[in-house]
Amino acid sequence: MKSFLFILAFLSCLSTAHCQISIETKNFLNQMRNTWLKKDSLIYTGSISDDAFRDIKKELSRDTFWIYKSSGNMLQKIDSLILTCDEKAYVSNEIQGLQGKMWDDNLLDNSKLVTQAFFDKFKFQKGITSTAIYSFSKPIFLRDNTICFFYYHYSYSHFIGQGELSIYKKMDNQWKYLEVLFFSSK
């Protein structure tokens, strides 16, 4: 009986570990919602699409990421982010964790998880709604949580939506947008 209770307790810990997120992740997601998206509440899915997963995996397979500055009609390279071999291996490992369900309900205050079935039905409804449904990856943090790769996508319908994978840098204890790695619209 004791071994049964031990195994039950162990499995319970494993199942709840998936749902736990770090303070840094929660802070990043709160800043994303409040500052960049300017949303008091958020409706989101528990995972990103398979297409997004493939695009992220492809984009983050590089070891050098250029940072550009807009100058008139031209883009000028102003800096780069070069991953070490260890960082590249870490990013590759973290990418595998982006496939499948990542999020549960009550991730953030005033947020609501919707099922994939609800999202699929929502995407194919006629017309455009004023409510967006978001999908986003877990942030991938590097260099003592000062660099972050993050993907998000939102949809108003099957025909209206966009997403992006970007690099963020922590400056003055706030996350600042650094560069878009890819942008998709639909």
Q: Is residue 67 part of a domain?
A: yes
pTM: predicted TM-score of the whole model, two decimal places: 0.80
Q: Is residue 110 part of a domain?
A: yes
Q: Is residue 72 part of a domain?
A: yes
- For residue 96, what are the domain limits? 21-185
Check residue 123 and give its pLDDT: 61
In three-state form (DSSP H/G/I as H, E/B as E, the rest C), the secondary structure along 79-137 is EEEECCHHHHHHHHHHHHCCCCCCCCCCCCCCEEEECHHHHHHHHCCCCCCCCCEEEEC
> How many distinct structural domains can be found in the chain?
1
What's phi and psi for 78, nearest 5 deg? -115, -20
Q: Is residue 100 part of a domain?
A: yes
Q: How far apart are CA 82 and CA 102, in angstroms?
A: 27
Q: Is residue 44 part of a domain?
A: yes
In the structure encoding, which two tokens stand for residue 175, read together? Answer: 């996350």
Can you give the length of the chain in residues?
Answer: 186
Query: Which among 107, 135, 129 is positioned nearest to 25, based on CA atoms?
Result: 107
Q: Is residue 3 part of a domain?
A: no
Q: Judge contact between 55 and 166, C-beta under 8 A.
A: no
Least confident of 54-63, 74-83, 126-135, 175-184: 126-135
Task: Enumerate residues 6+ apart whose C-beta is below 8 A from 76.
Answer: 68, 69, 70
In tens, the pLDDT along 138-178 reads 999 999 999 999 999 888 765 677 889 999 999 999 999 98
* C-alpha separations of 77 from 2, 66, 69, 106 in Å: 63, 7, 6, 40
